[in-house]
Amino acid sequence: MTSEERSELILAFAKVLYVNGQATDQIVATIRRLGNKLGIKAELLPRWGELQLRAENGGVPPIAYIAAGRS
């Protein structure tokens, strides 16, 4: 699985938690732990209507992934 695929998987998990009403602080902590398990430094930045994931793998600069919020 590539770094990009792992980041997209992490963001998909965040979106599932978000749309199902999980508390924001719990989502952020869960995504950090999941990123650690997948070997990525993941930081979730929840915004009004969207989720942004900053993912860093080793020395590679962070990449931002964005998903629409609640549907």
54-69 pLDDT, tens per residue? 888 776 566 777 776 5
**Contact criterion met (CB below 8 Å) for 40 and 3:** yes
How far apart, in whole angstroms, are the C-alpha atoms of residue 44 and residue 46?
Answer: 6
The CA-CA-CA angle for residues 21, 39, 17, to 5°, reads 5
pLDDT at residue 2 tops 90: no
Per-residue pLDDT of 14-45, as tens digits, reads 999 998 999 999 999 999 999 999 999 999 98
User: pTM above the 0.85 mark?
Assistant: no
Mean pLDDT for 2-6 is: 85
